[in-house]
């Protein structure tokens, strides 16, 4: 391109920017992530069937005029958290938090969870979780829990958003627990977190209203609870869903029931060296033979951590998303 | 501006557009409403304190660098529906629907609601509501209920969105009922509807999964339930809230409790000629003396329909938002 054309382009663009600036108050800029080229977009993934399936799905559902095109307002992708976005072994992080912060009077796991997570305001709970996350480290990896997130899945989240999808977490973990760090760690805002929820109680403390966390369950966001809560909180059927255990089965079935193309993916933990290897025998993140059979029969994709992921965790000190 | 500069501008813009087009699949265009100039933006409103307060609030919370600036991701505005966005007299529309469509065996209002709204799939319920809305008309105005929406409030919804706010409905009415028409009528998508909700049950019917509406309440989105459900569904405190009755009091208090500027507005129905006039004596949309006193004391704005609204309803056959 000649220098003159370049100059014209730059001058024109500057003029265009000045026009945009005039209406800046009226149209506040959307927070946008930098564009990613499709072929370079999953750098921590090895080449293979699952990577190809993700890229093909995104292309097919966003290509204007294509038979599998999905309107931007319907682009919903749901992600389980424990074992799908971050480490869930040797124990769910929420439970570790409860074990390390409860008051000491509790006698069993249920009481420990109640003591660590209820009978306080939502604000106090947020402060407790934030303080704990800052100082806690994983027993094996010696890193904060919020760094033990799967780099390949961070790339998937970012790529889906790049293609106009809204990425939701749909987790058996505590909704308010996840909200504390999900924006910083995954780039997912509070209103896109669906998780197990307790009842709240609005009341006044002195001259200001608060929301108290009551020791009563509103809903448990696991198994059949996942499609139920997706309907409650979103009111749309996801186009793509990612999980890793029998707790995600119904969410994937529900996703597949939509008319038109859908993508269902399960993470299989088969990498004892770099992370963990577990399956039907594990109480946490059970990946049963029945689930494997259903996945194969229905065309759900299974990620082998060992085979499909070049990296497991982000480099230490990586900037949050 | 000289012809040469104009030419450069146009050429440069075309070049810029060609660059944008290359990444069009990567960055699907957002659905944007046409820009509105602030001073022309509420044409169905008479000049007055409330109109001024709304415009000043929007300017203050979106002006970059201003002391009351609110980041785009926190721009949440919540709107009650019955009596705030559409007519609630002589009876809530949801109740009219239930009275006109239940099976005939029910003996009281609660049973009628249960029969008309539960023990069916969500899809079946959507179909029932959509069919009823098409044929039903209001006894006094002889227009479909979905046309008996307040034109001045449609302008407020549009203006808030124009300023980067996400507009949520937070209603004592049924969440799934409202979702049937809210996108077409108010421009509000399913995931931004918070309302009274029943429990759902995921199950299989033949070869496809469904969500059954059970005859059990999950939560009632009224009074203290409104801030509780705002936290559950959104996880952020609204910056602005609009209501019209004692059922909205806690939502407005909660909104005002946020640090920084907030806007609280109540619609007062004082126009028997064009709509209805009711207040403390009405069982539907009760506007008590205590609410009036609290509003005056706390600086909440009260819309007088008679004084503040030039028009009440949209012209017949207006295109939906």
The string of pLDDT tens digits covering residues A186-203 is 999 999 999 999 999 999
Q: What is the pLDDT of residues A260-314, one digit of tens each?
A: 999 999 999 999 999 999 999 999 999 999 999 999 999 999 999 999 999 999 9
CB B287 within 8 A of CB B279: yes
pLDDT of the residue at A319: 59
pLDDT of the residue at A103: 77
Residues of chain B with C-beta less than 8 angstroms from the C-beta of A202 = 224-225, 227-228, 250, 254
Asked whether the bond before A213 is cis by omega within 30 degrees of 0, the reply is no
pLDDT of the residue at B157: 98
Q: How far is CA B67 from CA A14, B39, B71, B254, in A?
A: 29, 22, 12, 21
CB B262 within 8 A of CB B239: yes
Q: Kindly determine whether residue A9 and residue B9, on different chains, have CB atoms separated by under 8 Å.
A: no
pLDDT of the residue at B12: 45
pLDDT of the residue at A320: 52
pLDDT of the residue at B105: 80
**Lowest mean per-residue pLDDT among A310-319, B219-228, B259-268:** A310-319
Complex ipTM, two decimals?
0.88
Distance CA A249, CA A297 (A): 13
Residue B206 contacts A, CB cutoff 8 Å = no
In sequence order, which ranges of chain A are alpha helices (DSSP H)? Answer: 3-22, 49-62, 93-101, 109-117, 122-135, 151-162, 175-179, 182-186, 225-233, 249-256, 289-298, 305-308
Q: What is the pLDDT of residues B43-86, one digit of tens each?
A: 999 999 999 999 999 999 999 999 999 999 999 999 999 999 99
Q: What is the pLDDT of residues B184-201, one digit of tens each?
A: 999 999 999 999 999 999
* From A9, A38, A209, residue closest to B12, measured CB to CB: A9
pLDDT of the residue at A12: 45
The average pLDDT across B309-313 equals 98
Determine the distance in angstroms separating the CA of B89 from the nearest CA of chain A, rounded to an integer. Answer: 28
State the DSSP H helix or E strand holding residue B249, giving kind and residue range, or none if neither. Answer: helix B249-256
As a whole-number percent, the residues of chain B with pLDDT over 90 amount to: 82
Distance CA B271, CA B258 (A): 33
**Lowest mean per-residue pLDDT among A2-11, B121-130, B140-149, B288-297:** A2-11
Q: What is the mean pLDDT of chain A?
A: 90
Angle at B234 (CA atoms; ends A233, B35), nearest 5 degrees: 105
Band of residue B103 on the pLDDT scale cut at 50, 70, 90: confident
pLDDT of the residue at B7: 52
CB A155 within 8 A of CB A107: no
Residue A130 contacts B, CB cutoff 8 Å = no
Nearest-by-CA chain A residue for B126:
A235
pLDDT of the residue at A7: 52
- What is the pTM assigned to this prediction? 0.89
Residue A71, SS3 per DSSP: coil
Residue B205, SS3 per DSSP: strand
Residue B115, SS3 per DSSP: helix
Residue B23 contacts A, CB cutoff 8 Å = yes
Residue A66 contacts B, CB cutoff 8 Å = no
**Is residue A64 predicted with pLDDT exceeding 60?**
yes
State the DSSP H helix or E strand holding residue A55, giving kind and residue range, or none if neither. Answer: helix A49-62
């Amino acid at each position: 391109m000649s220098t003159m054309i370049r100059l014209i382009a730059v001058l024109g663009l500057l003029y265009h920017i000045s026009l945009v600036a005039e209406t800046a108050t009226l149209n506040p800029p959307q927070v946008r992530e930098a564009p990613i080229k499709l072929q370079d977009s999953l750098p921590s993934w090895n080449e293979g069937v699952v990577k190809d399936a993700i890229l093909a799905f995104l292309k097919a559902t966003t290509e204007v005029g294509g038979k599998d095109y999905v309107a931007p307002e319907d682009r919903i992708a749901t992600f389980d958290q424990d074992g799908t976005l971050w480490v869930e072994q040797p124990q769910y992080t929420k439970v570790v938090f409860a074990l390390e912060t409860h008051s000491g009077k509790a006698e069993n796991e249920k009481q420990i969870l109640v003591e660590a997570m209820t009978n306080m305001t939502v604000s106090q709970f947020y402060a407790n979780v934030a303080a704990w996350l800052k100082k806690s480290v994983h027993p094996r990896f010696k890193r904060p829990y919020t760094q033990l997130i799967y780099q390949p899945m961070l790339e998937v989240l970012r790529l889906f958003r790049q293609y106009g999808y809204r990425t939701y977490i749909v987790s058996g973990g505590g909704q308010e627990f996840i909200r504390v760090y999900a924006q910083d760690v995954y780039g997912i805002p509070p209103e896109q977190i669906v998780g197990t929820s307790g009842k709240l109680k609005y009341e006044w403390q002195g001259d200001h209203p608060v929301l108290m966390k009551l020791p009563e369950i509103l809903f448990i966001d696991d198994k059949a609870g996942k499609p139920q809560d997706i309907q409650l909180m979103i009111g749309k059927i996801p186009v793509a869903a990612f999980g890793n255990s029998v707790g995600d089965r119904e969410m994937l079935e529900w996703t597949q029931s939509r008319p038109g193309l859908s993508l269902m993916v399960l993470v299989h933990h088969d990498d004892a060296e770099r992370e963990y290897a577990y399956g039907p025998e594990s109480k946490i993140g059970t990946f049963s033979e029945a689930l494997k059979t259903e996945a194969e029969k229905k065309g759900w994709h299974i990620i082998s951590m060992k085979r499909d992921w070049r990296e497991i965790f982000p480099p230490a000190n990586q900037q949050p998303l």
